[in-house]
Amino acid sequence: MKKIINDPSTVVEEALHGMEVAHADLIKVNYSPAYIVRADAPVKGKVALVSGGGSGHEPLHGGFVGMGMLDAAAPGAVFTSPTPDQVLDATKAVDGGAGVLHIVKNYTGDVLNFETAAELAQAEDIQVEAVVVDDDVAVKDSTWTAGRRGVGGTVLLEKIVGAAAQRGDDLAACKALAEKVNGQVRSMGLALTACTVPHAGEPSFTLGDDEMEMGVGIHGEPGRERVTLTSADEMVSTMLGSVVEDLPFSSGDSTLLFVNGMGGTPLIELYLAYNSCVKFLKEKGIGVTRSLVGNYITSLEMQGMSITLLRLDDDMTTLWDAPVHTAALRWGA
């Protein structure tokens, strides 16, 4: 295992220290329990957005805390959902009296721990609603699984709903918008190499030199099938093919295309893949009016990418364009 760390058991805490010092103007960090809040939290009268999940997906979620996006993030151990007290204390720290929306990626652990936190917060008279993001088309959504996973769509949802909260939408409106975004976004991932959880010390899985894991999850969970390495165009056609068919997206749609790196993929490959995506969508008559290309929801040092497509309407587009000022996404401010 080759990592820039001191000790597997202090990775998350040391990285939080680094974030805190590097972004002292934006965020404050609490360590016991661990959570990150906007430096100006609580913002009175504004609906607060709290997300969280295992660490190892940086910049998700801590990198999205700030004006126009999240109010707090609760980072668990690497690939391990946070505990209820992290989420509860974060919720209390950011509640500005207008209620709190929990943004939860659909994993058993995340859902259970956020549920417990929400119950405890409600017992303390904080209004809490939750949206569970499940945009990963690689997983069959059936009673035979824990349901679709929350992946790249989470980033877009946090930005768009964050902007709505910032402009003053109330809790019910924020929750409804979050559900709408979740209903219109689909994603799929792919791994070229595995990642190594610091504590485990060994890669989560092994891939042959000419193999890739199609449909991989962001915790290195093996995906839909292990297939032979193909060209970027073919990767994109499999991934976007599933994504487009699932919603389905149709000719004339206006979309936000998000090509995301898994942490170990260089930007040059992401732009190349983005180009393949645009070609693919053009043929189908699907328009790309907004874009995001980069490493935003990652799996440690995994090489690979995920592709997320969101069907936009005018309001979502306005909210996407609205100013945001966080460590990882910033514009108009």
Partner 1 sequence: MACDAAGVAGGVRRVAGTVSEHKAELTNLDREIGDGDHGENLARGFGAVIGKLDAETPDSPGGVLKLVATTLISTVGGASGPLFGTAFLRAATSVGDAGELDGSAVAAALEAARDGVVARGKAEPGDKTMVDALTPAVDAAKAAAEGGGDAAAVLAAAAGAAEQGAADTEPMQAHKGRASYLGERSIGHVDPGARSTAYLLRALADAAG
Ligand X SMILES: Nc1ncnc2c1ncn2[C@@H]1O[C@H](COP(=O)(O)OP(=O)(O)O)[C@@H](O)[C@H]1O
Contact 199, 191 (CB under 8 A): no
**Residue (209 or 314) nearer to a copy of itself, CB:** 209
Q: Which of these, 151, 134, 157, lies nearest to 49 by C-alpha position?
A: 157
**Residue (167 or 279) nearer to a copy of itself, CB:** 279
Binding site for ligand X (CB under 6 A): 80-81, 108-109
**Residue (3 or 140) nearer to a copy of itself, CB:** 3
Q: What DSSP state is assigned to residue 6?
A: S
Instruction: Kindly state the smallest distance separating residue 223's Cβ from Mg ion, in Å.
Output: 16
From 202, 234, 313, 321, residue interacting with partner 1 (rule: CB under 8 A): 202
Partner interacting with residue 4 (select from partner 1, a copy of itself, Mg ion, none; CB below 5-8 Å by kind): a copy of itself
Binding site for a copy of itself (CB under 8 A): 2-7, 11-12, 14-19, 21-23, 55-56, 58-59, 63, 78, 192-193, 209, 212, 229, 231-233, 235, 263-276, 278, 288, 291, 293, 295, 298, 300-301, 303-305, 330-333
Give residues 60-119 in contact with Mg ion (rule: CB under 5 A): 79-80
Give residues 96-115 in contact with partner 1 (rule: CB under 8 A): 107-109, 112-113, 115
**Residue (80 or 154) nearer to Mg ion, CB:** 80
**Residue (147 or 258) nearer to a copy of itself, CB:** 258
Instruction: Kindly state the smallest distance separating residue 299's Cβ from partner 1, in Å.
Output: 10
Q: Which residues contact 58 (CB under 8 A, 6 or more apart)?
A: 15, 298
Whole-angstrom distance, CA of residue 253 vs CA of residue 289: 10
Residues 270-309: b if buried by 16+ CB within 10 A, e if exposed: beebbebbbebbeeeebebebebbbbbbbbbbbbbbbbbb
Contact 237, 227 (CB under 8 A): no
146 lines the binding site for partner 1 (CB under 8 A) = yes
**Residue (112 or 267) nearer to partner 1, CB:** 112
Instruction: Kindly state the smallest distance separating residue 201's Cβ from Mg ion, in Å.
Output: 15
Contact 68, 25 (CB under 8 A): no
Give residues 16-55 in contact with partner 1 (rule: CB under 8 A): 33, 54
Partner interacting with residue 127 (select from ligand X, Mg ion, partner 1, none; CB below 5-8 Å by kind): none
Whole-angstrom distance, CA of residue 207 vs CA of residue 205: 7
The H or E element that residue 232 is part of is helix 232-246
Active site amino acids = 57, 219
Q: Which residues contact 191 (CB under 8 A, 6 or more apart)?
A: 207, 212, 213, 216, 220, 223, 262, 299, 302, 303, 304
Per-state percent for the chain, helix, strand, coil, to nearest 5: 35, 25, 40
Partner interacting with residue 197 (select from a copy of itself, partner 1, ligand X, none; CB below 5-8 Å by kind): partner 1
Q: SS3 of 141, please?
A: coil
Decide: residue 127, CB within 10 A, 0-12 exposed, 13-18 middle, 19+ buried: middle
Using CB under 5 A, list all residues that contact Mg ion.
Answer: 79-80
Using CB under 8 A, list all residues that contact partner 1.
Answer: 33, 54, 76-86, 107-109, 112-113, 115-116, 138-140, 143-146, 149, 197, 199-200, 202, 204-205, 217, 219-223
